[in-house]
Homo-oligomer: A and B are copies of this chain.
């Protein structure tokens, strides 16, 4: 085994130094698309923090600005589509009539528990699910590119009964 192979085997299955920006650049280059200021602003905003978000939240945040970092609604939607295409984002749900995105870079496959009451999204990793999905797909000659599993119900907090003060009342 060479030193290089040895190194590769030691590393976790994540490409350490390739940032979202790097990946986006690569995507853009292969399509003769350009890396503009606006795209950079949206990218920064997307990967600065927000786990889950809807396009309109970015519109609120970015298209109101008075300074040089303003981006229009149309461009936000266009860039978001590009980022999805580039594999940096994916749609995970639809809440209140809006598509909800999440980061899809360097993330292991995972799915969501969606609380019907507080709308919270709880992530969980389930390799078992992916395995079963592949088995089923194989059986149908279906070539998968990915999946989305949404589990509906009430989160722990929202399903906890109120009135913890007087335990006896819980019997009613």
Q: Is A152's CB under 8 angstroms from B156's CB?
A: no
Instruction: Determine the chain B residues whose CB is within 8 A of the CB of A142 once the complex forms.
Output: 113, 115, 122, 151, 153-156, 159
Instruction: Knowing A153-B143, A154-B142, say if A136 contacts B148 (CB, 8 Å).
Output: no
Q: How many Å lie between the Cα of A117 and that of B143 in the bound state?
A: 12
A128 an interface residue at 8 Å Cβ cutoff? yes
Cβ 8 A contact of A141, one of B126, B133, B149, B156: B156
Query: How far apart are A122's CB and chain B's nearest CB, in angstroms?
Result: 6
Interface size class of A (residues with CB under 8 A): 20 to 34
Query: How far apart are A16's CB and chain B's nearest CB, in angstroms?
Result: 28
Instruction: Determine the chain B residues whose CB is within 8 A of the CB of A107 once the complex forms.
Output: none
- Number of copies of this chain that the complex holds: 2
Q: How many Å lie between the Cα of A109 and that of B2 in the bound state?
A: 49
Q: Mark each residue of chain A from 130 to 172: 1 if its CB lies under 8 Å from any CB of chain B, else 0.
A: 0011001101111111111111111110010000000000000
Q: Is B128's CB under 8 angstroms from A132's CB?
A: yes
Q: Is B141's CB under 8 angstroms from A152's CB?
A: no
Instruction: Determine the chain B residues whose CB is within 8 A of the CB of A152 once the complex forms.
Output: 144-148
Q: How many Å lie between the Cα of A155 and that of B150 in the bound state?
A: 22
Q: Is A147's CB under 8 angstroms from B149's CB?
A: yes
Query: Nearest 4 CB-CB pairs, A to B?
Result: A141-B156, A144-B153, A147-B151, A143-B159
